[in-house]
């Protein structure tokens, strides 16, 4: 995939094409996306165009392109924390991104065998980057370091990298992909050119599903309607129907309990959320519930067509929209966003979700 064949985010693609054609490329760029919206795919397309070698970049085998991502000791790589490096996980990263450059954060953790673990870009990885960037390029052109989720870089690693990001060797690029730019250490983010990778339209998601992943037009359009602008979410929804059904059932229980004013049942829903098997699944549920609440909000505002609902879904969400206050979706989404933040901070899950569902109940 090159920039010429990339689907979606036309403004970002135009800007990156201009950089390649003029040679005026910032030495550090940070692409901000919602999970699964295609920032890694866009980085790969940019590098394929810049290096004029789609085969090597697309296959993640170009000797002058290096990848860094947060890791932890797990079932596939067992190592002391101080020795953990991205290089140890490279075969799993390579297989995942080749197959699906729109992969979700939780799918990366699953591919690495570190589901539910607290991941980090540590000092050992910072040393690995510095050893890489100060070597001569193998093919005589640019060198690139792709950093996935720099918000998970600890302070020691950031301080070690600061000088290299600020004043890298000639023809060395840092390309960072973040889901939470506000959490990236400020001394790093302030040295980067920010590029927003926007959520995709329904038509763009369908086109990616058809052209890149070979899905039928009818299936692609149907799934795209419920993906929240994320190709990764669309693919996840197609491949994980059992988990998606469990999320729908839990959200339905929560809404039934809220609308019937049954506080005990609401608290039981909080217990069910706390009992989910990993932090990634807890965050995935919060994001799913937020998307459901967005649909309720659109119906309450008379914008139901924008929610792209099937007939059955329209009846269900319309019923909820009539029972809930118009302020409820906005306030409840705020509770869910706060829960995601606290999950990342490793707050006790039983307390976290009990408080969250309590806030949702009293805001209804």
d(CA 299, CA 127): 52
In a shared domain, residues 148 and 295? no
Q: Which residues constitute the domain of residue 127?
A: 3-197
CATH number, domain of 57, equals 3.40.50.300
CATH code where residue 296 lies = 1.20.272.10
Distance of CA 42 to the CA centre of its chain: 14
The Cα 112–Cα 73 span in angstroms is 9
Predicted confidence at residue 240, as pLDDT, reads 53
Q: Are residues 38 and 172 in the same domain?
A: yes
* Pair (144, 41) in one structural domain: yes
Same domain, 38 and 140: yes
Number of domains in the chain: 2
**Residue 25, pLDDT score:** 95
CA 176 to each of CA 168, 182, 280, 331: distance values in angstroms, whole numbers, following the listed order: 15, 14, 21, 32
192 with 76, same domain: the answer is: yes
Instruction: Please tell me the pTM assigned to this model.
Output: 0.73
Q: What is the pLDDT along the chain (364 residues), one digit of tens a residue?
A: 899 999 999 999 999 999 999 999 999 999 999 999 999 999 999 999 999 999 999 999 999 999 999 999 888 888 777 778 899 999 999 999 999 999 999 899 989 999 878 899 998 899 888 888 888 889 989 999 999 999 999 999 999 899 889 888 899 999 999 999 999 999 999 999 999 999 999 899 999 999 999 888 888 887 887 788 899 988 887 765 567 778 889 999 999 999 999 999 999 999 999 999 888 889 889 988 998 999 999 999 998 877 667 677 788 999 999 999 999 999 999 999 999 999 988 889 999 999 999 999 998 8
Residue 206 in domain: no
209: phi then psi, degrees, rounded to nearest 5: -60, -35
Do 254 and 113 belong to one domain? no
Q: Which two tokens stand for residue 65?
A: 């392109």
Assess whether 170 and 298 both reside in one domain: no
Written as six digits, the tokens of 229 are 């602008």
Residue 214 lies in a domain: no
In a domain, 112, yes or no: yes
Residue 209 belongs to some domain of the structure: no
pLDDT computed for residue 239 by the predictor = 63
Distance from the Cα of residue 53 to its chain's centroid: 26
How high is the pLDDT of residue 241? 55
How confident is the prediction for the chain on average, in pLDDT?
90
Is 283 exposed, middle or buried (CB count within 10 Å of its CB: 0-12, 13-18, 19+)? buried
Work out the number of other CB atoms within 10 angstroms of the CB of residue 65: 23
Burial 197-236 (b: 16+ CB within 10 A, else e): bbbbebebbbbbbbebeebeeeebbbbbbbbbbbbbbbbb
Helix axes of 241-259 and 311-323: crossing angle, nearest 10 degrees: 30
Query: Is residue 210 situated within a structural domain?
Result: no
Residue with tokens 């795209």: 224
* Same-domain check for residues 189 and 248: no
Asked if residue 231 belongs to a domain, the reply is no
Other beta carbons within 10 Å of 184: 22
């Amino acid at each position: 995939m090159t920039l010429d064949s990339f689907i979606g985010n036309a403004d970002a693609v135009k800007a990156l094409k201009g950089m390649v054609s003029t040679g005026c490329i910032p030495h550090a760029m940070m692409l901000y996306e919602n999970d699964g919206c295609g920032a890694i795919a866009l980085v790969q397309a940019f590098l394929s165009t810049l290096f004029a070698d789609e085969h090597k970049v697309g296959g993640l085998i170009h000797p002058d392109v290096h990848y860094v991502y947060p890791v932890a000791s797990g079932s596939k790589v067992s190592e002391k924390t101080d020795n953990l490096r991205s290089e140890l996980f490279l075969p799993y990263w390579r297989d995942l991104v080749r197959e699906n450059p729109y992969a979700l954060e939780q799918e990366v953790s699953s591919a690495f065998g570190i589901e539910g673990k607290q991941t980090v870009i540590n000092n050992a990885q910072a040393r690995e980057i510095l050893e890489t960037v100060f070597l001569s390029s193998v093919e005589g052109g640019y060198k690139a370091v792709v950093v996935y989720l720099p918000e998970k870089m600890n302070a020691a690693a950031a301080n070690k990298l600061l000088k290299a990001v600020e004043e890298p060797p000639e023809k060395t690029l840092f390309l960072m992909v973040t889901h939470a730019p506000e959490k990236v250490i400020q001394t790093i983010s302030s040295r980067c050119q920010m590029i927003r990778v926007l959520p995709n339209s329904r038509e763009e998601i369908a086109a990616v599903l058809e052209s890149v992943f070979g899905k039928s037009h009818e299936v692609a359009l149907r799934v795209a309607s419920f993906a929240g602008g994320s190709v990764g979410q669309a693919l996840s929804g197609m491949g994980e129907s059992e988990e998606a059904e469990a999320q729908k059932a839990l959200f339905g229980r929560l809404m039934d309990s809220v609308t019937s004013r049954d506080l005990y049942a609401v608290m039981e829903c909080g217990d069910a959320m706390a009992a989910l098997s990993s932090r990634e699944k807890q965050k995935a549920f919060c994001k799913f519930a937020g998307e459901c609440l967005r649909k309720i909000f659109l119906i309450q505002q008379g914008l139901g067509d924008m929610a792209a609902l099937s007939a059955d879904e329209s009846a269900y969400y319309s019923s909820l929209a009539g029972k809930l206050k118009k302020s409820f979706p906005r306030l409840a989404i705020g509770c869910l966003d706060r829960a995601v933040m606290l999950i990342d901070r490793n707050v006790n899950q039983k307390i976290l979700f009990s408080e969250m569902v309590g806030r949702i109940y009293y805001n209804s």
